[in-house]
Amino acid sequence: MREKLEALRDEALAKIAAAEDVKALQEVRVAYLGKKGPITEVLRGMGKLSAEERPIIGQMANDVRDAIKEQVEAKEAVLEGAAIEAQLASESIDVTLPGRPVQAGSSHPLTAVIEEVEDAFIGLGFSVAEGPEVETDYYNFEALNLPKDHPARDMQDSFYFTEELLLRTHTSPVQARTMEKHKGKGPVKVICPGKVFRRDDDDATHSHQFMQIEGLFVDENVRMSDLKGVLEAFAKSFFGPDRKIRLRPSFFPFTEPSVEVDVSCGMCGGEGCRICKQSGWIEVLGAGMIHPRVLEMSGFDSSRYSGFAFGMGVERLAMLKYDIDDIRHFYTNDVRFLKQFNRM
């Protein structure tokens, strides 16, 4: 029995050494260590041995089984490592090949214009305020001196959810909310960028949805000359240092007096051309001194405080600055159009 076990051990170790892959190795393991293997048969025949031989042969059988098992595990590790090396070699990547270029995106032209306007006004001491796009009738109209029967509401017809809830038609409600938060104490100096909505027919210069930036400054002794100085500084920053502005009388319910603000034409330098319709000037925004009633409704004493407000369309600024002829280009997501602004 002892010679048989030694022969089984030597035979199994030889086959383990000769195994060329994991499958062949597993066949050796099953053949010698399986339930029907020769070592198992030896252990089953232990009952025929004498009491003196039984522990000796049993120990020897266990030693042979452990030796075979140990060699199988060692050989398996070697074969698996070789298989991994072969796989890595067959699936190698040539790292010297040039990489595939990843196209980098950029800010949308409207986003870039908003950020440029914000930078200009932050440099003048303004902060940025935002508010809800779904607004109440009170903040969108009534708090801005536009009662329910005011005819000026017709110019700002919007999309209504209920009689008292609508999509805002301008960012002026943010100004009213900001003044309320100050509880009648100045100064208040903010710009309010955001999306607004009106029931307009979409064409080259109109859209039912567009971006707007409004500004507000409330403090003691604020004058029209302060408004002109701020807007002139903005125009030079945004359009160029050689540009000039002019103020023309106008009407807005929430400002008194009110003005339209024109900037000198950059194409002709103010001489007159087809862009400015031979006038030398291009209209860019509306502004004015805040109506005393608006100040009072927001909690400010109009005998002590005064202020100015202004509003501009972001699309109009972008169209003027980059000579874009159709507002719809901003919303069609045409990559050919957007690629022109990659370096902005």
Both 207 and 266 in a single domain?
yes
Which one is predicted more confidently, 287 or 84?
A: 287
Question: What dihedral angle (degrees, nearest 10) is formed by the CA atoms of 131, 136, 141, 144?
Answer: -50
For residue 101, is it within any domain?
no
Whether residue 261 sits in one domain with residue 134: yes
Instruction: Read off the pLDDT of each residue in 230-244 and give the average, rounded to a whole number.
Output: 94
CB atoms within 10 A of CB 179: 25
> What is the domain count for the chain?
2
Residues 42, 115: one domain?
no
Long-range contacts at 241-249 (CB < 8 A, ≥ 24 apart): 242/269, 244/270, 246/281, 247/287
**Domain co-membership, 158 together with 261:** yes
- Find, among 227, 265, 238, the residue nearest to 117 by Cα: 238
Binding residues: 256
Amino acid at 145: N
Whether pLDDT at 271 is above 70: yes
> Residues with Cβ < 8 Å from 82, sequence gap 6 or more?
none
Q: Please indicate, yes or no, whether residues 76 and 113 belong to a single structural domain of this protein.
A: no
Residue 103 has pLDDT above 90, yes or no: no
**Beta strands per DSSP E along the chain:** 127-128, 134-136, 160-162, 165-167, 188-197, 209-220, 245-252, 255-264, 281-290, 305-313
Q: Using an 8 Å Cβ cutoff, are 8 and 66 in contact? A: no
Residue 265 counted as domain residue: yes
Annotated binding site for Mg(2+): 256
More confident: 50 or 176: 176
Q: Quote the domain boundaries for residue 66.
A: 1-91
Q: 113-144, pLDDT tens digit by residue? A: 999 999 999 999 999 999 999 999 999 999 99
Long-range contacts of 26-30 (CB under 8 A, 24+ apart): 28/72, 29/68, 29/69, 29/72
What is the C-alpha separation between 50 and 261, in angstroms, rounded? 118
* pTM beyond 0.95: no
Has residue 80 been placed in a domain? Answer: yes
pLDDT of res. 43: 66
In terms of domains, do 27 and 119 share one? no
Query: What CA dihedral angle connects 276, 279, 284 and 288, to 10 degrees?
Result: -170
pLDDT per residue as tens digits for the range 73-99: 888 888 888 888 888 888 877 778 788
Phi-psi region of 212 (alpha: psi -120 to 50; beta: other; left: phi over 0): beta
